[in-house]
Amino acid sequence: MSEVLKIFKIGGGIIDDAAQLGQFLAALARVPGPKMVVHGGGKGASQMLQDLGIAPQMVQGRRITDAATLDIVTMFYAGKTNKQVVAGLQQHGVDALGLSGADGNVIRASKRPVKEIDYGFVGDLDEHSVNTGLLQTLLGTGLTPVFCAITHDGHGQLLNTNADTIASSLARALAPFYQVELHFCFEKDGVLADVTDETSVIPQITPGQYQELKARGVIAAGMVPKLDNAFAALEAGVERVVIENALKINEPVKTILCRN
Amino acid sequence: MSEVLKIFKIGGGIIDDAAQLGQFLAALARVPGPKMVVHGGGKGASQMLQDLGIAPQMVQGRRITDAATLDIVTMFYAGKTNKQVVAGLQQHGVDALGLSGADGNVIRASKRPVKEIDYGFVGDLDEHSVNTGLLQTLLGTGLTPVFCAITHDGHGQLLNTNADTIASSLARALAPFYQVELHFCFEKDGVLADVTDETSVIPQITPGQYQELKARGVIAAGMVPKLDNAFAALEAGVERVVIENALKINEPVKTILCRN
């Protein structure tokens, strides 16, 4: 039986709140065994772009990453946020090591092809994107890799990449070597049966139940791509996907998605 | 006989010039054997502080690192510059991995004590600062560590640290395990016998010759702290210190400092 590896994805909401981030990192330090963190961006980068007079370009809700924007998001995600998370984990005794995709060629991406929209310097991942050998070496020496959502193309170009995609690509790629648990941490306690009732967390969802919940409209717009992505990861060999509150990772309340 | 490890320190001048940086990285890729890079900051961070209306605070020629300044230098050094260097080396086939001192607790510093000047969030290193075990593991797997000049105190605080000091501390700490060559790369071809003549490079300087050159005033103000630091590293077990042009690292012209 292979070892359990837990991958925690945290979003922008918690990155933007230093007190909550500290609480999450302290809780993460109590999670035993090998683990990884993937962090999103937060509002800091948009604020800095604005302060510098660089207007954020959005098309159909997606940020367009021009060269100036890539510079700022690289600075924010790979510099400020990544090093804050790493230093905070070190403070709590976790031997964290920050990574962009370029470091150790750990995640190689391709610049998204231009179709209707030119997304600019945005990276897409494929099944061979992840350097699993290096990650096994790092985990084997007791390190906790901390990923920002910046990758590279291997030809010197950094690329802005979706953090959820990075988390699920890491989970899939490492599934042959570990029993991977992929934890999506956000501000709610799990998937809610009733969006107006924070206590209506669904403890477990199978693929069949998911189809039914979608058909009945219980699972709403914003949650659908996240859960589609999660069930695809399960199909690709990930052992378990957990949707939980970033501030309650050591508490029993959460939604567990399982294969059957 | 232990293996040769080459540590290259590059300064702000080359960081600020994308074409020269690319040329240096391509040349570095042709250097055989285990190696590391330490990079300074460049003018970008000061420019960004200015663009954001944060006045750089200098006391006696030293930057005072307040919280806002630390944020920006962390973003610039650990984010933008570090990832550009790493992605550029990957492009040339070098398996580079970027590190701040917080990553893998690789360099732990102490906040400089307040005496006449409060330098703010500036880190000083001591003899136990460097995690040599992790560096040997990384080098052993064929990685090229790339250091920015940001360290941490182990209690969650990042610290701005002098890049020359980082380079020589790494060299000293690794001297028991490797034959360490410490390369200070800058815009001149070496230490000049005549500052008005770029071709007057002194090929080799022993400690005795250095004292004489200082006494005769041949080695001028700016060079003295760098060379004092270099000879101290040799005394502490570093095999060789090289002062050379960042764009000519594979050419024979350079100044070699040696123990005797």
Average of per-residue pLDDT values in chain B: 94
What's residue A1's pLDDT?
67
Extract the tokens encoding A201.
Answer: 């967390």
Mean pLDDT of A216-242: 90
Q: Is B93 labelled as part of a ligand binding site?
A: no
3-state secondary structure of A152: strand
High-pLDDT (> 90) share of chain B, %: 79
pLDDT digits (tens, 9 = 90+) for B136-168: 999 999 999 999 999 999 999 999 999 999 999
Q: Where are the beta strands (DSSP E) in chain B?
A: 4-10, 35-39, 57-59, 62-64, 96-99, 110-111, 123-124, 144-147, 150-152, 158-160, 179-186, 204-205, 240-245, 255-257
B100 touches chain A (CB under 8 A): yes
**3-state SS class at B185:** strand
Q: What is the pLDDT of residues B176-189, one digit of tens each?
A: 999 999 999 999 99
pLDDT digits over B246-255, tens only? 999 999 999 9
Nearest-Cα distance to chain B for A13, in Å, is: 19
Question: Residue B1: pLDDT above 70?
Answer: no
* Per-residue model confidence as pLDDT tens digits over A104-142: 999 999 999 999 889 999 999 987 899 999 999 999 999
The CATH number of B4-257, from 3.40.1160.10, 3.20.20.140, 3.20.20.150, 1.10.760.10, is: 3.40.1160.10
Which of A72, A97, A129 best tests the B interface by mutation, with the highest count of B CBs <10 A?
A97
Superfamily of domain A4-188: Acetylglutamate kinase-like (3.40.1160.10)
Predicted confidence band at A256 (pLDDT cuts at 50, 70, 90)?
A: very high
- The pLDDT score that the predictor gives to residue A135 is 98
pLDDT at position A67: 93
A161: closest CA of chain B, how far (Å): 15
* Residue ranges of E strands in B112-178: 123-124, 144-147, 150-152, 158-160
pLDDT in tens, B88-116: 999 999 999 999 999 999 999 999 999 98
A79–B76 C-beta distance less than 8 A: yes
Distance CA A9, CA A16 (A): 15
Candidate from A39-48, A70-79, B173-182 with smallest mean pLDDT: A39-48
Residue B242 is encoded by which pair of tokens?
Answer: 């090289």
pLDDT band at B60 (very low <50, low <70, confident <90, very high): confident
- How many angstroms away from the CA of A239 is the closest CA of chain B? 28
Q: Residue A237 has which token pair?
A: 């060999």
Instruction: Report the pLDDT averaged over residues A185-204.
Output: 93
**Mean pLDDT of the A48-74 span:** 87
Inspect the interface and report whether the beta carbons of B154 and A78 lie closer than 8 Å: no
Nearest to B44 by CA among A33, A51, A13, A75: A75
Q: How does residue B58 score in pLDDT terms, banded at 50, 70 and 90?
A: confident
Structure tokens, B100:
């701040």
Give domain limits for chain B: 4-257
CB A9 within 8 A of CB A163: yes
Q: Tell me which residues of chain A, numbers 39 to 68, contact chain B at a CB-CB cutoff of 8 Å.
A: 48, 51-52
Whether the CB-CB separation of A40 and A11 falls below 8 Å is answered with yes
